Structure 1
Amino acid sequence: METNQVYHVQSYAFLNDPRFELPHDGVSNASGSPGASPNPSRPHSQSVSFRSEDAFLLSNPKNESRLPMSVAAPPTFFQRSRSFFTGSRDRVFKRLFPLLALVVLIIVAIAVGVAVPLSRSNESQELADSGSNGGSHDPAGAPPSPTSPSPPSSSTRPSGPVNSDIPDIPSDAYHNEPRLVFAHYMLITRPPNANFTPDIIMAKAAGIDAFAINYGGVNVDYDTERTYLSQFYNYCTAQDFFAFLSFDTTSTDSSGTQIDPQQAVDLFNQYNDHPAQLKVNGSAVLSSFQTADPSWNWQESVLSKLNASVHFLPHTLSTHGEQVFAQDIGAEGYFSWMHHDLNATQEAATDASFASSRNQSAAAATRADKPAQKWMVSLAPWFYKNLGAHWAQAQDSSIFIPRLKNLLRRKPDYIELVTWNDFGESTYFGPLNANLTEMCPECYYAHLEHGGFLDMMKPVIRTFKAGETEVLVDEEAGEKENVWLFYRLQPARSLPKGQDSSDLPELVQDLRDKVFIVSFVKQETEIKVEGKDNGGKKIVRSVMVERGLSVSEVDWAWGNQTVTAVRGDEVVVEPKTGPAIVDDVVGYNGNVVVV
């Protein structure tokens, strides 16, 4: 009995400590990884939930002698409250007078204590107001210099949200049509026999409107690239699908020479009237990928030389939408990329900056009776790269579902999935490439399917095109409930023998050892995930999820991961099993598999 009382008090002591969250099997796990699991022979109990009515366990006088020495006993006047008024009237007043005096003193102390902070708060607010109204600490009164639009490097990643000073103008009143979805296609990474038909059919079935063809790369043979570009356009025509050029300004040929802007002029003029060329309001779409401004000027070197009207959407890595939209380079809008080195809060602030700037631009265009500039946003399902640079990403599971749900409220004009097939950065929505798998069966992308990410996008694309913000199951559209898992196959900090922490990727500290669940259900549903503990025994972790599309997580367990969805006695989604999580690794892999 005494042990039970100590257990309850200690349990409540760490209920709010995130290091000691109780997993769904009720066993405390301070690290969140299978390696920190308790003795596997111990039976798994149900997790204990704390209720407000259970607070008596902390103050019940009958438990006083059983409290551990490290936990303070309840104040004595609580324990004596039942007999407080049982004596005579004189004894009552003798007891009551000191207590009343104490109450008066407390009230006076509170009044004085509150008045001082309030006065200081008012002073601080006046200082803040003067600063926001043009006040400056510069004696000369010069305004602060503008913030650089370039994104932070991984070594200088900001600790707080970027753009926190940008006014967040809601997108509620913004009405954008057409709402289109594209996928970034690496032409340099071609499917077997350069047969683009399966990719086109798959993209079209998902609701994607066009491929943005990334023209260029490293050590590119441009004669070969142009040949495959022509074939790609023709394959699109055969499937009644569309494409447009995304000119990669970082491209170099085998000699290291950077790509010539004249190629963008020639290619645009060549494909402007192609049946598969995507056009918006009669203008051919042209985009780009660039990590910095090219050495040439888009307006003078490209746009002025085109033989037809263009819907130009240049790419930017900037985190400051207001600076981007203030440019005058002949663009009809801007393409904001994802940032692997920003955390989820910072990325959300960047999206808010671009949405607000677009909204301001649209309002100004309406007053001037001219077309509004557009905002095209990138959306990646994951990011991990080990080619020259070794990078993870700082947003972990928030990089995809939480961000896209926020984007639905921000109402971008266009969404571009980045990417369809960039396997080197683990951002692919499309199928695995058999050529690459055969060439490098041990590579981090060789056997890890991402097709589930594309399946998740299907109801999102429908929702986006309808102008709605909540992704719900539409049975009339033939949608069915589903659940997916995505996870790494090894702990984030596990390395093969002989390697040390210097072999870990940048931003590894932002990755958590969890199994992530994406659910798409009609109503509240229980998701169960099976795995194994350290002793090889089966364990089941479970979580309740809300209706619609959402992401949740369970603690890691070793072995194959099997997921199912149940609602009462009904099996909503049949079990499906993914590959095993292991700790005996032969090489580091920060990519994920989708089940």
Structure 2
Amino acid sequence: MRLYSLVSIAGLCAKLATADRQVFAHYIVGITSGQTRDEWQLDISQAKASGIDGFALNIGAQDSYNDAQLHLAYDVASSNGFSLFLSFDMQASQWSANDIGIYINTYKGFSSQFKINNLPVVSTFEGPSQADIWPGVRAATGGIFFVPDWASLGAPGVGSKLSLIDGAFNWGAWPEANQLTMSTGNDVAYKSVLQGKPYMMGVSPYFYTNLPGKNWYSASDSLWFDRWKQVLDINPEYIEIITWNDYGESSYINAPISHQVVPGADTYVTGFDHTAFRFVLPYFISAYKAGNANVAVPSEGAIAWYRTTPATICNDGGTVWGQGGGASAAGGTQDVVSIIALTNAPTNINVKIGSGDGGQSVSATSTVGKASFYKVPINGRTGAVTITLNGKSTTGPVIANSCPSSGHVNFNAVSIQV
């Protein structure tokens, strides 16, 4: 009888541990000047339909429209049962403790403010050099639940500041320079140094940027599948998808809004849709919250992503393989069509490239639960890409054996859904 009670209590604790798991998407407020209530409603509705619980609102001190946009965001989110928290960008701008406190106090009363232990959650993008301001912020706001991204310190450095934080967010969601796949070593290190404090794990579908001062591609051929599989291994308390709308870094999962794309990024963002990445979110988020992959598939189907030009068709535009890397980005990616399928039973997928291709049936190279990953070499073929699953097909943009108009390889990918 006593054994039964202990088992029952253990099961209850496991349920409680998973019940509060939440998934957020990093949202760049700095590109939203003039954004309307309807546009906020669309973003929030689409995110919620994908299983996302809320947005981490990245704000810079220099943007005069912060208040107008944050009021809209918090108001719309409150009407939709959606959560928000502020993430102060301390890498791109200088924040004072007083200004931070004013923002927190302004928005903490909204019903959409995400709270832990009844305290408003607050995060950052970097800012460890200003770590000493946060005790003052706590005092000025009546308390916060502080989960910063201080990834530049590394896990040991974050652990050395444990007395200042309530948890930590790890921005590292991409393979390192010269690595083709993501590992969980950094996640494990964070979990260890946090000593039981909540860990917010970064998950991202893609990375490519070619802008002044930053020009790199992080290997992303299998990243979206790999990282969600790793989520089930790590079991973090929280997840932050990086990102909802950072077009300049090609990590977006919403439809690009042309006037919000930073100058220079349009050459690799326009026509490169990433919305299909969201199709697999309801399943993966459900599995994460359940603590295992044996959950129902909301809808059978598949997504595919691929680059529309070979990696070595022309010069690489100076793009390096991974942040801080020195090798060409061309070495960090294969000319492949990457696919994730959600099916109730294992199945092959048919992939056709170009009108002269009869198509090929391919089997999965990796599986977790009811999600399977496929990687199909392009092998010099050109033309539109058609994916067929269980009799349903979709056709995506053409793969061309010619250099883009920019004069260099575009390492961004398109995504399609069937």
- Normalising by structure 1, report the TM-score: 0.60
Task: Give the corresponding residue for 1:213.
Answer: 57
1:406, CA displacement in angstroms?
1.4
Task: Give the corresponding residue for 1:581.
Answer: 399
* 2: CA distance, partners of 1:428 / 1:376: 19
1:326, CA displacement in angstroms?
4.1
1:440, CA displacement in angstroms?
7.5
CA contact (8 A) 1:314 1:333 kept: yes
Task: Give the corresponding residue for 2:210.
Answer: 386
* 1: CA distance, partners of 2:162 / 2:264: 45
In the alignment, structure 1 residue 481 sits paired with structure 2 residue 310? no
In the alignment, structure 1 residue 228 sits paired with structure 2 residue 69? yes
What's the RMSD between the two structures over aligned residues?
Answer: 2.6
1:553, CA displacement in angstroms?
0.6
In the alignment, structure 1 residue 238 sits paired with structure 2 residue 72? no
Task: Give the corresponding residue for 1:31.
Answer: none
In the alignment, structure 1 residue 593 sits paired with structure 2 residue 417? no
1:432, CA displacement in angstroms?
1.9
1:67-78 matched pairs, under 5 angstroms: none
Task: Give the corresponding residue for 2:363.
Answer: 544
Which of 414, 429, 432 is equivalent to 2:253? 429
> CA deviation digits over 1:67-93, x for unaligned, max 9?
xxxxxxxxxxxxxxxxxxxxxxxxxxx
1:249, CA displacement in angstroms?
0.6
Secondary structure of the equivalent of 1:294? helix
In the alignment, structure 1 residue 283 sits paired with structure 2 residue 119? yes
In the alignment, structure 1 residue 461 sits paired with structure 2 residue 297? no
Task: Give the corresponding residue for 1:446.
Answer: 270
Task: Give the corresponding residue for 1:156.
Answer: none
In the alignment, structure 1 residue 201 sits paired with structure 2 residue 26? no
> CA deviation digits over 1:87-121, x for unaligned, max 9?
xxxxxxxxxxxxxxxxxxxxxxxxxxxxxxxxxxx
1:385-424 matched pairs, under 5 angstroms: 385-388=209-212, 389-393=214-218, 395-424=219-248
Which of 140, 143, 165 is equivalent to 1:331? 165
Letter in 2 for 1:321: A
CA contact (8 A) 2:35 2:69 kept: no
Secondary structure of the equivalent of 2:231? helix
Unaligned runs of 5+ in 1: 1-171, 253-257, 363-372
Task: Give the corresponding residue for 1:186.
Answer: 28
1:272, CA displacement in angstroms?
1.5
Letter in 1 for 2:373: V
Change (3 A) 1:490 1:471: farther
CA contact (8 A) 1:472 1:522 kept: no
1:190, CA displacement in angstroms?
2.1
In the alignment, structure 1 residue 304 sits paired with structure 2 residue 125? no
Letter in 1 for 2:211: L
* 2: CA distance, partners of 1:173 / 1:324: 29
1:314, CA displacement in angstroms?
0.6
CA contact (8 A) 1:514 1:554 kept: yes
In the alignment, structure 1 residue 247 sits paired with structure 2 residue 88? yes
1:285, CA displacement in angstroms?
0.7
Secondary structure of the equivalent of 2:86? strand
CA contact (8 A) 2:210 2:265 kept: no
Letter in 1 for 2:99: Q
Letter in 1 for 2:339: I
> CA deviation digits over 1:480-514, x for unaligned, max 9?
2111110011112233xxxx45x241011111111
CA contact (8 A) 1:460 1:471 kept: no
Q: Determine which structure has more spread, i.e. the larger CA radius of gyration.
A: 1
Task: Give the corresponding residue for 1:518.
Answer: 340
Change (3 A) 1:271 1:192: closer
* 1: CA distance, partners of 2:243 / 2:87: 12
CA contact (8 A) 1:473 1:481 kept: no
Secondary structure of the equivalent of 1:315? coil
1:421, CA displacement in angstroms?
0.3
Task: Give the corresponding residue for 1:506.
Answer: 320
1:561, CA displacement in angstroms?
0.2
* 2: CA distance, partners of 1:402 / 1:580: 26
CA contact (8 A) 1:192 1:435 kept: no
* 2: CA distance, partners of 1:275 / 1:200: 15
User: Aligned pair count?
Assistant: 382
1:235, CA displacement in angstroms?
1.8
Change (3 A) 1:174 1:321: farther
Change (3 A) 1:442 1:356: closer
In the alignment, structure 1 residue 315 sits paired with structure 2 residue 149? yes
Task: Give the corresponding residue for 1:131.
Answer: none
1:196, CA displacement in angstroms?
0.6
- Normalising by structure 2, report the TM-score: 0.84
> CA deviation digits over 1:413-454, x for unaligned, max 9?
000111100000000112221434798895211221111111
Secondary structure of the equivalent of 2:162? coil
CA contact (8 A) 1:525 1:544 kept: yes
* 1: CA distance, partners of 2:363 / 2:96: 55
Change (3 A) 1:391 1:441: closer
Letter in 1 for 2:120: A
Change (3 A) 1:193 1:304: closer
* 1: CA distance, partners of 2:399 / 2:304: 13
Letter in 2 for 1:464: Y
Letter in 1 for 2:415: V
> CA deviation digits over 1:127-183, x for unaligned, max 9?
xxxxxxxxxxxxxxxxxxxxxxxxxxxxxxxxxxxxxxxxxxxxx999454100111
* 2: CA distance, partners of 1:560 / 1:302: 54
1:144-155 matched pairs, under 5 angstroms: none
> CA deviation digits over 1:452-485, x for unaligned, max 9?
11111111111111222x26544xxxx2211111
Identity of aligned residues (%): 27
Runs of 4+ in 1 over 6 A off after TM superposition: 437-441
CA contact (8 A) 1:355 1:411 kept: no
Change (3 A) 1:378 1:493: same
1:305, CA displacement in angstroms?
2.5
Letter in 2 for 1:314: P
Unaligned runs of 5+ in 2: 1-13, 322-328
Task: Give the corresponding residue for 1:71.
Answer: none
CA contact (8 A) 1:452 1:594 kept: yes
1:125-140 matched pairs, under 5 angstroms: none
Task: Give the corresponding residue for 1:85.
Answer: none
